[in-house]
């Protein structure tokens, strides 16, 4: 069985694992989302906003992995 998606990211002749890239993109998206929630004053409805940040990071990691860059 062949996989149509690459398991590595190639930069020239050097192959990199997609995990750090996905984690960086998920972190950046989480920072933007939490900043937007803070700007709109919606973070006051959450009991522990730090857990919300971690939840958004996990959610974005799973979504990026599933739809964009495959592990």
Kindly state whether residue 2 falls inside one of the protein's structural domains: no
Q: What pTM was estimated for this model as a whole? A: 0.78
Band the pLDDT of 30: cuts 50, 70, 90: very high
- Domain residues for the domain of 50 are 9-67
Beta-bridge mates of residue 59: none
- pLDDT one-digit tens code per residue, 1-13: 456 665 677 778 7
Q: Which residues contact 4 (CB under 8 A, 6 or more apart)?
A: none
Kindly state whether residue 3 falls inside one of the protein's structural domains: no
As a whole number of angstroms, the distance between CA 15 and CA 23 comes to: 17
Kindly state whether residue 27 falls inside one of the protein's structural domains: yes
Total domains in the chain come to: 1
Two tokens at 44? 């006051």
| Poorest-pLDDT segment among 13-22, 42-51, 59-68 | 13-22
* Among 37, 62, 63, residue whose Cα is nearest residue 49: 37
SS3 of residue 11 by DSSP = strand
- pLDDT one-digit tens code per residue, 32-48: 999 999 999 999 999 99
Kindly state whether residue 53 falls inside one of the protein's structural domains: yes
């Amino acid at each position: 069985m062949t996989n149509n998606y690459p398991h590595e990211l190639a930069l020239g002749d050097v192959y990199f694992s997609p995990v750090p890239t996905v984690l960086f993109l998920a972190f950046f998206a989480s920072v933007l989302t939490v900043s937007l929630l803070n700007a709109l004053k919606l973070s006051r409805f959450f009991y522990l906003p730090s857990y919300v940040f971690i939840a958004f990071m996990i959610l974005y990691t799973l979504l990026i992995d599933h739809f964009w860059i495959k592990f």
